[in-house]
Homo-oligomer: A and B are copies of this chain.
């Protein structure tokens, strides 16, 4: 990818942060997919191309540019915070998702910032809060791109197990107690939680835990506020109509939670827009940083999503998406039922685009293992689960899980791909016999080895 260098000049002298920043493990997977377009890729979290809102965006951009004044405004600079009419619209959008007025959780349109995808928000939040040695708490497993960012900032990531109800808040509470006892509480900056149809597990934090999570961080916020960074990227991609209120909705004064959502997953990643509601003292710091980054995300893209919210095409598109992704989720589950040998477990997401698989411990899913390479040979790519785990106290991470993303994989590919996957696992299990119970302990998402069915 990079051109060759003449050998004769001295090296660069990088910042400590650059030196800490590792290549994202997904890069090599994406390069594989790019070099082999015939691969069935369950790896990258891309969205379903045929469902992208091409006609809607055609109509919307026609409308924007037909109005000269509006067209000019779309092509001009905006503000760092984002287009005011869009932020006002997002305020009522959030209120309708919560089923309560925005005032009930203490936010106004000026407490919402529009960013270059919600990824930029995650970065900005971490950057204004974390110094090397500070502590961030995340689920185990969790979204590996962001934990990579945290590591590049020098954060120490402590983790809390995930189960069917999402992050285990009791364990979080005990962890905070231990950190308090160790005099480390002052270094805890925030808890990171993907609250709906989690990446990578597909699980959703239960309502009871949402409320308790806010209560716990409040209680441990003594010298300073410990925040909750609620990543709700998949919130609107639930297959059922009713969705849980956000963690933020349990924080009536907008003091302890940051709620970030995106237009990438539920509308169009190519617009690269996310939005985030946060406490105003934090917003102040985030705005200053974003001023250094770009003083505001693309005005044209903001006008497009504003129009999509206004003219109903966002809502209509979501209905199409939900039914598409539900269909794919069903196809994934059916294919797993049909093709996976006994001893393999998986989650049953109620939204989003991820299924998490757990194998007997004898199966090594890592990129260095036999399974990964045999799958590539058969034309199938997945995300090795070890990318998503934080090491336990002995420095170990489980090597027997994987993430399947069905975002960009067609129905046909789903069955074919999982059939290949099942065959590889079957072959490997023949040569490495299962010890009953040996899938225990990798994570509590799949506490029992299964034979054929699993909810």
Contacts and interface: CB of A to CB of B under 8 A. Distances in A.
Contacts of A280: 2-3, 5
Interface string A106-132: 111011000011011001000111110
Given A75-B54, A288-B24, A224 B12 contact: yes
A272 B46 CA distance: 23
B14 A129 contact: yes
Nearest to A68: B54
B50 A72 contact: yes
Contacts of A227: 12
A189 interface: yes
A57 B75 contact: yes
Given A12-B227, A76-B268, A152-B292, 10 more contacts: A2-B111, A11-B281, A15-B128, A49-B76, A61-B62, A61-B65, A145-B291, A270-B298, A270-B303, A272-B299
A128 B14 contact: yes
23 contacts: A2-B283, A3-B280, A5-B253, A9-B221, A11-B224, A21-B285, A24-B291, A49-B72, A52-B76, A54-B75, A55-B65, A57-B71, A57-B300, A58-B65, A61-B62, A62-B62, A74-B270, A76-B270, A77-B270, A78-B270, A116-B116, A116-B298, A152-B292
Interface string A285-314: 100110111111111110110000000000
Contacts of A68: 54
A18 interface: yes
A16 B227 CA distance: 17
A200 interface: no
B225 A75 contact: no
| Copies per assembly | 2
Interface residues of A, number: 106
A148 B292 contact: yes
Contact of A18 (B5, B119, B129, B272): B129
Nearest to A18: B128
A93 interface: no
A58 B76 contact: no
Contact of A65 (B1, B54, B71, B297): B54
Contacts of A282: 12
Nearest to A280: B2
Interface of A: 1-3, 5-6, 9-18, 21-24, 27, 30, 44, 46-47, 49-50, 52-55, 57-58, 61-62, 65-66, 68, 71-79, 106-108, 110-111, 116-117, 119-120, 123, 127-131, 134, 145, 148-149, 152, 186, 189, 221-225, 227, 253-256, 264, 268-272, 279-285, 288-289, 291-301, 303-304
A10 B300 contact: no
B14 A285 contact: yes
Contacts of A123: 292-294
B301 A301 contact: yes
Nearest to A283: B2
A222 B24 contact: no
Contacts of A268: 75-76, 300
A130 B293 CA distance: 15
Contacts of A58: 61-62, 65-66, 71
Contacts of A264: 77
Nearest to A5: B280
B281 A116 contact: no
A53 B75 CA distance: 8
A345 to B, nearest CB: 30
A391 B406 CA distance: 57
A68 B293 CA distance: 33
Given A49-B72, A269-B76, A189 B57 contact: no
A142 to B, nearest CB: 15
Nearest to A47: B76
